[in-house]
Structure 1
Amino acid sequence: MSGHSSAAGAIRVLLVDDHAVMRAGFRMILEAAGGITVVGEASTGREAVEAAARVRPDVICMDVQMPDLDGIEATRRLSADPDTDAAIVIVTTFDRDDYLFTALDAGASGFLLKNAGPEELVSAVRVAAAGDALLAPAVTRRVIERFASTPASPRDTASQVVEPVPPTPALTDREAEVLRLVALAQSNAEIAAALFIGEATVKTHVSNVLQKLGARDRVAAVVYAHRHGLV
């Protein structure tokens, strides 16, 4: 996935939550951070789908439990729409596995708990806008445990996140090292610092790794790394 930030430079965000106070708080945090503009708000999943078509956001912060259409179904519809290129970050008070896996399967780029600090919210939006999947390390562990403990089968909807994976893709040493750091939930910036290379180079390596693994996104690559003992 290519970066989502708009030509003007500011990341365009759509806030979706049925609580106006929560939206107001998020708007204040994001706009104070600089380089981020909140271009719209919605209080139901249905409004979110309509607003996304209207305001063309780069990132959508999506609540789960809402009237009219929940956040998971709204995510599924937006992800299926070829005209919508927004990265969707699920923001929820519920730290529950079924939401997590259903959201990832619906096409969400990331998952953030509402009790996360302001800097985590800002970081989540920036990471999603850059085209990176975003999972908190604790969430990543749960994803890995879930996928590692269940052999992938066509009936397991979550399995499409990790299949198909060739048994021994020909990764270069540097690509393998990048994959290992991705699996440790490191961002592109952190990987660049650790390996003394540019962030653009990291992005190239990550995209090569995903292509060679046949992986849909970073989550799938993380699962592959853990399944094959690279971490």
Structure 2
Amino acid sequence: MSDLIKVLIVEDDDLIAKRYEMILSKDSQMQYVGRAASGYEGTMLAALYQPDIILMDIELEEKQAGLKATEKILNYLPDIKIIILTVIDTDDVLFQAFEMGATNYLLKNMPAETILTAIKDAYCGMPSLNANIAGKITKEFKRIKTVEESLLRYFHMLVLLTPTEMEVLDLLLKDYSRQEICKLRQVEASTLKSQVHSILKKFEKNSIQEVVTVLRELQIPQILAKHNGLLTL
């Protein structure tokens, strides 16, 4: 590797920032270009120095300032590689960071060798995700794929429902009892029973509670509410 790797540190804790600066100074392939103590300052210095790598703390002037800075920087300077610094590897925060384009993450107390390897790998386009987060991401992608497949399947089933069946299902999702539904819709219990049976057949379920549960788990009512033209539920 002939070129020096320019690294910007965005960290509000002076001691931690100093430790990273010392680690970088001991490696002949690294060039420490500066340190920012806030997300705003980090964004400004990223534009000014255009580093190869940014070590970005998540919690700066506010809880997710590092994530916001990451998003802004990568919107304007997408070639910069950002490695997230964190104390606890909370799943939802890390997934947000990777969705925004972060390359890797490091726990703040990791050894110097691990930090330097992560920087060099990111610079070479080979982010060395540790086994912990790699496993989490793989698991999350599988979960998302399963959810997407389920969403498509159940949306298809919803399309097969008649307007009357949609109305009945809507009331069931709102926790109306069958007696209340009969009264609201002014129908006999036998008529409602027939409509529920038809819904179950189309959803391939044995009980209406199974249908209601799976639709709620997939957040289908909320999705439909945001897209009124899609289906009336």
Matches within 5 A, 1:190-209: none
Q: Say if 1:42 and 1:48, in contact at 8 Å, map to a contact too.
A: yes
Q: Greater share of helix residues, 1 or 2? A: 2
Instruction: Name the structure 2 match of 1:74.
Output: 69
Counterparts of 1:36 and 1:15 in 2: how far apart (Å)? 12
Query: Which of 150, 156, 160 is matched with 2:144 structurally?
Result: 150
Structure 2: give runs of 5+ residues left out of the alignment: 150-233
1:112·1:135 contact (CA, 8 Å) conserved in 2?
no
Distance in 2 (alpha carbons) for counterparts of 1:117 and 1:138: 16
Q: Is the 8 A contact 1:111 1:134 kept in 2?
A: no
- Does the 8 A contact of 1:59 with 1:125 survive in 2? yes
Paired amino acid for 1:14: L
Query: Offset at 1:37?
Result: 0.9
Work out whether 1:61 is the aligned partner of 2:29: no
Give the TM-score, by structure 1 length.
0.60
Amino acid at match of 2:10: V
Task: Give the TM-score taking structure 2 as reference length.
Answer: 0.60
Which of the numbers 133, 148, 154 marks the counterpart of 1:139?
133
Structure 1 residue 124, shift from structure 2 partner: 0.8
Q: Which of the residues 102, 119, 132 maps onto 1:108?
A: 102
Partners of 2:11 and 2:148 lie apart in 1 by 35
- Cα RMSD after superposing both structures: 2.0
Instruction: Give the total of aligned pairs.
Output: 148
* In 1: Cα distance, 2:30 partner to 2:90 partner: 29
- Number of the residue aligned with 1:41: 35
- Counterpart residue number, 2:11: 17
Tell me how far apart the structure 2 counterparts of residues 70 and 147 of structure 1 sit (CA, whole Å): 26
Q: How far, CA to CA, are the matches of 2:107 and 2:141 in structure 1?
A: 21
Matches within 5 A, 1:174-213: none
- Overall identity of the aligned pairs, in %: 31
Deviation at 1:95, TM superposition (A): 1.1
Deviation readout 1:175-220 (Å, 9 max, x if unpaired): xxxxxxxxxxxxxxxxxxxxxxxxxxxxxxxxxxxxxxxxxxxxxx
What is the alpha-carbon distance in structure 2 between the residues aligned to residue 76 and residue 108 of structure 1? 9
Cα pair distance change 1:73/1:120, threshold 3 Å:
same
Q: Over residues 4-32 of structure 1, what are the superposed CA-to-partner deviations in whole Å (9 max), with x where a residue is unaligned?
A: x8xx7110000000111111100101110
Partners of 1:99 and 1:134 in 2: CA distance: 19
Larger radius of gyration: 2
Counterpart residue type for residue 41 of structure 1: R
Q: CA shift at 1:84, angstroms?
A: 5.1
Q: Which residue of 2 aligns with 1:88?
A: 82
Matches of 1:84 and 1:106 in 2, distance apart?
11
> Any conservation in 2 of the 1:42–1:51 contact (CA below 8 Å)?
yes
Q: Conserved in 1, the CA contact under 8 Å of 2:42 and 2:69? A: yes
